A and B are shown apart, each in its own frame.
Chain A
């Protein structure tokens, strides 16, 4: 609540370095940020609950206490709200017993009215309270059962359990995508700040006060927003859990693969959380210059269809024989084609010579950017197409001149979803669809050919801001015979590419700006391409 307009200043590469003294040792830290971030930059983790780098500082959890030498002696301050100043003296639990005890005390207070149900809590394993408890907790409880617990909860949901204890609302249906457990809420206010400051729609609020505080929407209204699942990410406890992931998988059984969401041209950075060859959820991966910590529901829930309705791998010889026929060839690349796919497509066009023409784009409308994690453009790699000298979005022309072509080869592009386009393109005699899904185009195709989905391939893309980002392959391909689209296209072009890196190296020949990079030199948060006109 307090100072809700104070966004934290985060360190950047260009932050000036200043010298401060941590536990009487001199260290160089970024000078234009808060203490918590500065300590993190030199490898000292400070436990915290309410602080989030992309939310206004609220300073209410009081967990990140450190001691600062000041004019009135050593004072406890919260690291998240204390700006770094040159030659300040800081004491962490490593040297200060007082800080250690203060953090311990805060941790104890945090758990006074928090239920002890970690074994059945879905957040267990990625719960901030658990982490803080291991870091700064009281090893032995000092409570007596006689003191009782005062569970937080909406008076309208409170009930009396079989032991006669008043309990807060469990599994409250707070919105279409989220379930709330009122007892587990520690009133850190993160979701309230997210909805107010980031989503711009104050649907959540902490009601009442003191230890009766509970989190709620307006009575009768539901938490419903394009970004509402972000509150389940930022919730430090198991209070807000996503219905789609609730009780599906213990988080410590999941492996994570860093990748890029290919359904929007901002290219939101994601983690693909998978286990046993299955994608269980997508999580936002922090990238300060792209999507920060946020991910839209559309991008996040897209995983539910990744492994459904898949197209089996086809016979490549039949593709070759079709392409060997006479007549003009329309090569169509969809929005989720990686740079590698586009390069291979270009190679194929070169091989086919004058009778091939490349079209790109999507029939889905371009929406305005929402300023959070979506640019609104469904053609994710539009900038990459431009970089490789391909047309960017000329499907209208393809429709106009459909009669000229006798072969249509579409890559990751659901042309037949659009009824009007389907009607026009039906007239082309040979239709090849390289697609991950058995979608309308694959159904209409004379030769449907299954390839890997973007979540299963290694590759690169350039987002709408000119950021070159890399995708990694999650081992979740439903069929080991499936190959990435670039590999199929390269084979059709008569070139053998053993891995994506070779395709990327080929791309460097087409676009000078890419030639300086390899997969190793593209950082996980991407690199900004200099001098690219978009």
Chain B
């Protein structure tokens, strides 16, 4: 190495000179450098392998259905990534790129999303993904000893897969079944026990060492016919999609589907200055009319502004009947309920 003698003696005199001007110094360490990598590199399938599995009519139909649900294609990104995981069992890099293309977003964006959410697997998992809750309710009821038990039983640590590729153990946060804690997910099934040859999470049951044994046995028995679930919980037929999206047939909501809003909660209180009306108005009102009953006819007594909180009919007295009619744009609502003016309570003198 070319050591520059006397280059640095004092901080104050630290004026390094480069005789030969700016030159890129960037040198990558050779691959032989003795650096211990923390993680093994995950082997990724090629673009062609991934596309051969994903570019099939069935998946394309699902994607079209998903894209029609959101005003922007990016909205379907999580669901499309689920489809990738449903087909491949995990989300390889090329699968993320495929999802980004389907949802018309940048691949880097899709990568950020796919790594943010913990349920997307970035490495292949065993046939049975055993997820154990380690959150507080399950921890109180002894989740950790059970996790130790299954780790010993299968001979692997959490996060690892058995050599036969059958089981992967994961410790996860709350699975939303604290009443059955400790409990687990076997792939997508909540399970505390096996009942009649089915994984079950019955009310009041919790996971025990014996039930874990039964669940493991059940899994081994089903190793060759793992129950297949749709990653998005089945297809919903009949929806119209989101209005304005290619592939959707839905039309925007019509503005006048509901009757126009009437004035609510009209109250009239009278004293010597007249009858004062209060009401509850909707923000869409454009015009308000106050009417007073005169025999069997209704007479208009005033048009308060839609922003007013109170209207006073100077001629009003106790026993008069009022109603209000609101207009919203071009539509006139039905009249409000009739309000009979009552005596206004005398405001109490404030105690000094």
Contact between chain A and chain B defined by CB under 8 Å: yes
The interface residues of chain A lying within 8 Å CB-to-CB of B28 are 171, 173
Interface status of A220 (Cβ within 8 A of chain B): yes
Residue contact B97 to A209, C-beta cutoff 8 Å: no
Among A203, A205, A221, max chain B CB count under 10 A is at: A205
- Compute how far the CA of A533 lies from the CA of B286 in the bound complex, rounded to whole angstroms: 49
Of the listed stretches B31-39, B80-88, B256-264, B270-278, chain A binds: B31-39
The answer to whether residues A209 and B116 also contact, given A203-B106, A248-B22 and a CB cut-off of 8 A, is yes
| CB-contact partner of B22 in A159, A203, A220, A280, under 8 A | A280
Given known A-B contacts A156-B39, A158-B38, A247 and B25 have beta carbons under 8 A apart = yes
Separation of A173 and B112 alpha carbons in the complex (Å): 19
Interface string of A396-438 (1 = CB under 8 A from B): 0000000000000000000000000000000000000000000
Closest to B18 in A: A248
Q: How far is the CA of A216 from the CA of B15 in the complex (A)?
A: 36
**Closest A residue to B41 using CB positions:** A156
Q: How far is the CB of A150 from chain B (nearest CB, A)?
A: 12
Which of A238-246, A375-383, A483-491 forms contacts with chain B? A238-246
Q: Are A245 and B22 in contact (CB under 8 A)?
A: yes
Name B106's closest neighbour in chain A (CB-CB): A202
- Residue of A155, A216, A221 with highest tally of chain B CB at under 10 A: A155
Q: Are A218 and B22 in contact (CB under 8 A)?
A: no
Within 8 A of A (CB), among B97-127: 97, 105-109, 111-112, 115-116
Instruction: Give the nearest-CB partner of B116 in chain A.
Output: A209
Is the CB of A262 closer than 8 A to any CB of chain B? no
Interface flag for B17 (CB, 8 Å): yes
CA gap between A159 and B39 in the complex, in Å: 8
Residues of A within 8 A of B93 (CB): 218-220
- The answer to whether A205 touches B111, judged by C-beta atoms less than 8 angstroms apart, is yes
B22 touches A216 (CB 8 A): no
Q: Which residue of chain A lies nearest to B96 when distances are taken between CB atoms in the complex?
A: A218
Taken together as a complex, chains A and B put the C-alpha atoms of A161 and B29 apart, in Å, by: 14
Interface check A304, CB cutoff 8 A: yes
| Beta-carbon contact of B38 and A155 below 8 Å | yes
Is B26's CB within 8 Å of the partner chain A? yes
Contact residues, B1-43 vs A (CB, 8 A): 15-18, 21-26, 28-29, 35-39, 41
Known: A203-B106, A208-B116, A278-B21. A219 touches B36 (CB 8 A): no
- In the complex, the answer to whether B26 meets A208 with C-beta atoms within 8 Å is no
The chain A residue sitting closest to B122, CB to CB, is A155
A201 touches B106 (CB 8 A): yes
Instruction: Give complex CA distance A253, B16 in Å.
Output: 10
**CB of A253, distance to nearest CB on chain B (Å):** 7
- Chain A residues near B105 (CB, 8 Å)? 202
Q: How large is the interface on A (under 10, 10 to 19, 20 to 34, 35 or more residues)?
A: 35 or more
Residues of A within 8 A of B107 (CB): 218, 221
Q: How far is the CA of A145 from the CA of B310 in the complex (A)?
A: 69
Measured between C-beta atoms, what is the minimum distance from B16 to chain A in Å?
Answer: 8
Task: Please pick, from A179, A203, A209, the residue contacting B26 in the complex, using a CB distance under 8 A.
Answer: A179
A214-256 CB mask vs B (1 if < 8 Å, else 0) is 0011111100000000000000000000011111111001000
Nearest-CB residue, chain A, relative to B28? A173
A49 within 8 A of B: no
Question: How would residues 245 to 272 of chain A score, 1 for a CB under 8 Å from any chain B CB and 0 otherwise?
Answer: 1111110010000000000000000000
CB distance from B96 to the nearest CB of A (A): 8
Q: A217 contacts B38, CB within 8 Å?
A: no
Asked whether A246 lies within 8 Å of B39 as measured between CB atoms, the reply is: no
Interface centre among A179, A196, A218, A278 (most CB of B within 10 A): A218
A326: Cβ under 8 A from any B Cβ: no
In angstroms, Cα B36 to Cα A201, docked, is: 34
A166 contacts partner chain B, Cβ-Cβ < 8 Å: yes
Bound complex: CA A216 to CA B110 (Å): 12
For the complex, would chain A's binding face be called helix, strand, loop or mixed by DSSP majority?
loop
Say how far B36's CB is from chain A's closest CB, in angstroms: 5
* Contact residues of A between 309 and 354, Cβ < 8 Å to B: none
A residues less than 8 Å from B25 (CB atoms) = 246-248
B21 touches A202 (CB 8 A): no
Whole-angstrom distance between the alpha carbons of A220 and B28 in the complex?
17
Query: Assuming A159-B36, A221-B107, A244-B22, is B17 touching A207 (CB within 8 A)?
Result: no
Residue of A nearest to B92 (CB): A219
Partner of B38, one of A160, A202, A221: A160
Most buried by A among B17, B44, B105, B111: B111
Bound Cα distance A287, B159 (Å) = 52
Shortest CB distance B142–A (Å):
27
User: Which of B29, B93, B108 has its CB near the most chain A CB atoms (within 10 A)?
Assistant: B108
- A527 interface residue per 8 A CB criterion: no
Cα separation A278 to B17 with both chains bound (whole Å): 11
Residue in A171, A204, A248 whose CB lies within 8 Å of B108: A204
Q: What's the minimum C-beta distance from B38 to chain A, rounded to whole angstroms?
A: 4
The answer, yes or no, to whether A112 is at the interface (CB within 8 Å) is no
Q: Is the CB of B39 within 8 A of A158?
A: yes
Q: Are B108 and A205 in contact (CB under 8 A)?
A: yes
Chain B CB within 8 A of A512 CB = no
- Tell me, in angstroms, the Cα distance from A158 to B35 when the chains sit together: 10
The minimal Cβ–Cβ distance linking B113 to chain A, given in whole angstroms, is 9
Residues of B near A245 (CB, < 8 A) are 22
Q: Which of A171, A207, A244 contacts B111 (CB 8 A)?
A: A207
- Does A530 belong to the interface (CB within 8 Å)? no
Distance between B172 CB and nearest chain A CB, rounded to angstroms: 15
> Chain A's nearest CB lies how many Å from the CB of B318?
39
Query: What is the bound-complex CA distance between A243 and B23, given in angstroms?
Result: 9
Interfacial chain A residues near B97, Cβ < 8 Å: 218
Chain A residue contacts of B26, Cβ below 8 A:
171, 173, 179, 243, 246
- Say if the beta carbon of A13 comes within 8 Å of chain B: no
A218 touches B36 (CB 8 A): no
CA–CA, A207 and B116, complex, Å: 6
Chain B residues with Cβ below 8 Å from A278 are 21-22
Q: Is A276 an interface residue (CB 8 A)?
A: yes
Chain B hits for A307, CB < 8 A: 21
A206 vs chain B, min Cβ distance (A) = 6
**Whole-angstrom CA separation of A58 from B43 in the bound complex:** 35
Q: Are B108's CB and A217's CB within 8 A?
A: yes
In the complex, chain A residues whose CB is within 8 Å of the CB of B115: 207-209
Contact A246 B24 (CB under 8 A): yes
Closest chain A residue to B25 by CB distance? A247
Instruction: Return chain B residues, CB-CB under 8 Å to A201.
Output: 106
Known A-B contacts: A158-B38, A204-B108, A218-B108. Give 13 more (CB < 8 A): A155-B39, A156-B41, A159-B36, A171-B28, A173-B28, A205-B108, A207-B116, A208-B116, A218-B106, A244-B24, A248-B25, A253-B15, A276-B17
Q: Can you report 25 residue pairs joining A to B where beta carbons are below 8 Å apart?
A: A155-B39, A156-B41, A158-B38, A159-B38, A160-B36, A166-B38, A171-B26, A171-B28, A171-B29, A202-B109, A204-B108, A207-B111, A209-B116, A217-B108, A218-B97, A218-B106, A218-B107, A218-B111, A221-B107, A244-B22, A246-B25, A248-B22, A248-B25, A276-B17, A307-B21
**Ordered nearest first, which 10 A-B pairs have the shortest CB separation?**
A202-B106, A205-B112, A158-B38, A205-B108, A207-B115, A218-B107, A160-B36, A208-B115, A218-B108, A159-B35
